[in-house]
């Protein structure tokens, strides 16, 4: 088994390199910054937007991601009516030092709001500069450790996903829930989000079961974990890992040791059909995960491909959402004769609509996203519950 797992591990690690950008964004452990105020913005004038993207890193996968974010932002800007946004691109290199210099340059050139950067280390680096100048940051990161004050997250957080999948399990009577997670920062973040959701929905937390994220770690730990989860009486299990890391190697070992998705509901905190080959993994069939409505996002991908001649990175929609939110705020402020991009506007409970569905920013800098529930069936991700179209409404 160790040799087979090792071969699969190498294959999917290469196939999932692009997805790794999101994983790193979730893993970095940083801290927030001091309190600040938001500078008022005249909605009748052109609003200057600084788009911070991971270009100039010397890594081809980040260049692809960065260019996808730029293209998506421009597509969103072209879709706006009665709003004038001036979007300028600032490469961050994917590192804190370059991001700091880029943020300062953006401030010097009159930026009034930041969209990006991606990694939580770069987001934490630019946040104080933005705060000192009364500028809000709509970061592509999904790491709640850096959220707060002037920094808001566009990335889909583990908290939003955990709420969706745990709520689904509880509503279907699966109330004894365990968490199997990698023993690293991303796994810990997934564990924390899952335990919070389990408590929120009144379920029973029956244990956390970590493993080292490596072929040897999975081969050694998974059989014991399977026995322990079954002994604990779990009716559902949250798996925090993603297919681009260890999930496609973990689930077969669990299944061979007697823990499978047919007898115990498997709940995912990541997209189980990225990379595409992962969806065909036999041991992951029947597993449930949450993601943006594929029909809505598919429309964006089709438009993007028709416009730019190739498909976007799967995180590109975050840039579209950020620009769309800014446009909606400016348009609303212009109609009411008030200032734009205020804290009250950003944290409006009605939220915004983007290519990933409805979303809103919370006062703590996190977000709520309207996500669809999907299940793997015969190698395909099938929607089993539509994403809500507004907050406070159920999927329909």
Q: What is the pLDDT of residues 49-59, one digit of tens each?
A: 999 999 999 99
Whole-number Cα distances in Å, 279 to 243, 244, 314, 335, 348: 9, 12, 16, 46, 36
Tens of pLDDT, residues 11-36 = 444 434 344 444 444 444 333 444 44
Residues 177, 265: contact at Cβ < 8 Å? no
Report the percentage of the chain scoring pLDDT > 90.
86
- Contacts of residue 201, defined as CB under 8 A and 6 or more positions apart, other chains included, come to 163, 166, 167, 170
- Contacts of residue 231, defined as CB under 8 A and 6 or more positions apart, other chains included, come to none
Q: What is the mean pLDDT of the chain?
A: 91
Tens of pLDDT, residues 216-228 = 999 999 999 999 9
Query: What pLDDT, on a 0 to 100 scale, did the predictor assign at position 319?
Result: 98
- At residue 378 the predicted structure's pLDDT band, cuts being 50, 70 and 90, is very high
Query: What pLDDT, on a 0 to 100 scale, did the predictor assign at position 363?
Result: 96
pLDDT at 315 exceeding the cut of 90: yes
Q: Select from 372, 373, 367 the least CA-distant residue to 156.
A: 367
Give mean pLDDT, residues 380-387: 96
pLDDT at 7 exceeding the cut of 70: no
d(CA 174, CA 394): 20
Query: What pLDDT, on a 0 to 100 scale, did the predictor assign at position 206?
Result: 98
pTM of this structure: 0.89
pLDDT at 80 exceeding the cut of 50: yes
- At residue 153 the predicted structure's pLDDT band, cuts being 50, 70 and 90, is very high
Query: What pLDDT, on a 0 to 100 scale, did the predictor assign at position 12?
Result: 44
Which domains, and CATH codes, for the chain? 2-19+158-291+372-385 (3.40.50.2300), 47-156+297-365 (3.40.50.2300)
What is the token pair recorded at 114?
């930041």
pLDDT at 187 exceeding the cut of 80: yes
Whole-number Cα distances in Å, 161 to 14, 135, 136, 332, 343: 25, 29, 25, 29, 25
Query: What pLDDT, on a 0 to 100 scale, did the predictor assign at position 37?
Result: 63
Give mean pLDDT, residues 53-66: 96
Pairing of strands 372-377, 380-385: antiparallel
Give mean pLDDT, residues 206-211: 98
Query: What pLDDT, on a 0 to 100 scale, did the predictor assign at position 40?
Result: 82
Tens of pLDDT, residues 256-314 = 999 999 899 999 999 999 888 899 999 999 999 999 999 999 999 999 999 999 999 99
């Amino acid at each position: 088994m160790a040799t087979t797992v090792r071969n699969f591990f190498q294959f999917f690690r290469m196939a999932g390199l692009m997805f790794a950008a999101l994983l790193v964004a979730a893993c970095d452990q940083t801290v927030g910054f001091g309190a600040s105020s938001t500078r008022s913005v005249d909605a009748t004038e052109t609003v200057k937007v600084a788009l911070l993207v991971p270009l100039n890193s010397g890594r081809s996968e980040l260049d692809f991601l960065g260019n996808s974010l730029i293209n998506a932002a421009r597509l969103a800007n072209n879709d706006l009516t009665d709003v004038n946004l001036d979007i300028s691109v600032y490469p961050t290199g994917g590192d804190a030092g370059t991001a700091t210099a880029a943020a300062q340059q953006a401030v010097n050139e009159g930026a009034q709001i930041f969209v990006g950067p991606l990694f939580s280390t770069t987001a934490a680096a630019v946040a104080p500069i933005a705060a000192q100048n009364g500028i809000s940051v709509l970061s592509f990161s999904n790491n709640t450790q850096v959220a707060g004050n002037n920094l808001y997250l566009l990335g889909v957080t583990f908290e939003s996903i955990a709420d969706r999948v745990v709520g689904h399990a509880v509503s279907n009577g699966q109330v004894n829930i365990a968490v199997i997670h990698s023993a690293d920062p991303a796994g810990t973040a997934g564990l924390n989000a899952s335990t919070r959701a389990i408590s929120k929905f009144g379920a029973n937390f029956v244990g956390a079961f970590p493993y080292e994220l490596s072929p040897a770690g999975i081969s050694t730990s998974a059989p014991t974990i399977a026995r322990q989860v079954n002994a604990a009486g779990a009716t559902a299990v949250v798996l925090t890992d993603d297919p681009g890391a260890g999930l496609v190697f973990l689930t077969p070992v669990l299944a061979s040791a007697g823990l499978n998705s047919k007898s115990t509901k498997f709940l995912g905190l990541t997209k189980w059909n990225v990379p595409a080959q992962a969806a065909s993994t036999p041991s992951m069939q029947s597993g449930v995960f949450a993601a943006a409505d594929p029909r809505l996002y598919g429309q964006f991908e089709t438009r993007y491909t028709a416009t730019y001649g190739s498909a976007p990175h799967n995180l590109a929609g975050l840039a579209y959402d950020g620009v769309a939110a800014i446009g909606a705020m400016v348009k609303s402020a212009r109609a009411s004769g008030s200032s734009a991009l205020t804290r009250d506007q950003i944290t409006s409970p009605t939220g915004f609509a983007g290519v990933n569905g409805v979303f809103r920013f919370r006062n703590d800098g996190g977000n709520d996203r309207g996500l669809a529930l999907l299940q793997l069936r015969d190698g395909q991700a099938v929607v089993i519950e539509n994403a809500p179209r507004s907050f406070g409404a159920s999927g329909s």
